[in-house]
Amino acid sequence: MPQTKEITTDFEWIRYAALDLGATDAKVIPTAEVVVENRVPLLCRSGCVTYGTRLTCPPRVPTPDEFRRILSEYSYALLVQFTSDARADPDIICSLCRNIFDPEADPEQKQKASEFMDKYTGGNTGRLDIMLELEKKAFNGGCTFALAFVNGSCRLCKTCNLKEGTCLHPTRARIPEHAVGINMVKTAEKAGMPIHFPVTGSPRPMAILLLT
């Protein structure tokens, strides 16, 4: 059962703004309900092909301990849920990375996995745009430290400007929530917006906006 109580604050307007911009669902929660775990970024190191290749990914972002201290300076956050146009084939999604990157994977499964990922990540820019617009609305609404986190690694550049160490899109690039240790599965469950694995049908990616 969801543990988060309904929040009645002046932030209801930002929830409606998220829905108006195209989000499937949105909910304001206290930041005490945002679950941060040290083990989450470990999956970036052990299972993500973009580990160390983005300025917005570990090890170039705050650690979970650092992020906990940052999070303690906020009181509320907005959870934002989207729907992807991609459709998950149960036989593919359960071994998605293997099907994409293992050279010995079945060619047909490899193709299906790549098609799924292309369609899924193809929506990243649109979801980022919505989160940036919500961040701007929150800022203009008085939340001067509003900050968006996004689902998935940054794809604004084909190759990140790691050599120079400066982002080429600093006003648009945002950190994935899991990169700083946010367990979105537990956080979403507390908020009554559960994320189900393995994915069936269309995925429902989620993002989070820190408000104040």
**Phi and psi at residue 99, to the nearest 5°:** -65, -30
Does residue 47 form part of some domain? yes
CB 64 within 8 A of CB 70: no
Calculate mean pLDDT across residues 159-171: 96
Which pLDDT belongs to residue 1? 43
Residues 176 and 141 in one domain: yes
Q: What is the mean pLDDT of residues 46-58?
A: 89
CA dihedral (45, 48, 49, 55) in degrees, to 10, reads -70
46 & 114 share domain: no
Interval 6-21: pLDDT, tens: 444 589 999 999 999 9
∠ CA 99-105-108, rounded to 5°: 80
Residue 45 has pLDDT above 80, yes or no: yes
Q: Please check whether residue 20 lies inside any domain of the structure.
A: yes
In this structure, the answer to whether residues 107 and 35 fall within a common structural domain is: no
Q: Which pLDDT does position 4 carry in this prediction?
A: 44
SS3 state at 194: coil
Residue 31 domain-assigned (yes or no): yes
pLDDT at 39: 97
Quick one: pLDDT at residue 9? 55
Mean of all residue pLDDT scores within the chain: 90
| Section 69-85 average pLDDT | 96
Give residue 94's pLDDT.
77
pTM score, two decimals? 0.89
Residue 198: is the preceding peptide bond cis (ω within 30°)? yes
69 and 91, same domain (yes or no)? no
Q: What is the pLDDT of residues 98-125, one digit of tens each?
A: 777 788 888 888 888 888 888 888 788 9
Q: Residue 165 forms beta bridges with which residues?
A: none
Region of 192 on the Ramachandran plot (φ > 0 left; ψ -120 to 50 alpha; else beta): left
The range of the structural domain enclosing residue 19 comes to 12-84+124-210
Angle between helices 107-122 and 124-140 (to 10 degrees): 20
Say if residue 201's pLDDT is above 90: no
112 phi/psi in degrees, rounded to 5:
-65, -40
Give the residue with greater pLDDT, 171 vs 103: 171
Question: 135 vs 14, 75, 86, 144, CA distance in Å?
Answer: 9, 16, 26, 9
Question: Which band of pLDDT confidence, cut at 50, 70 and 90, is reported for residue 86?
Answer: confident
**pLDDT (0 to 100) of residue 8:** 43
pLDDT at 90: 76
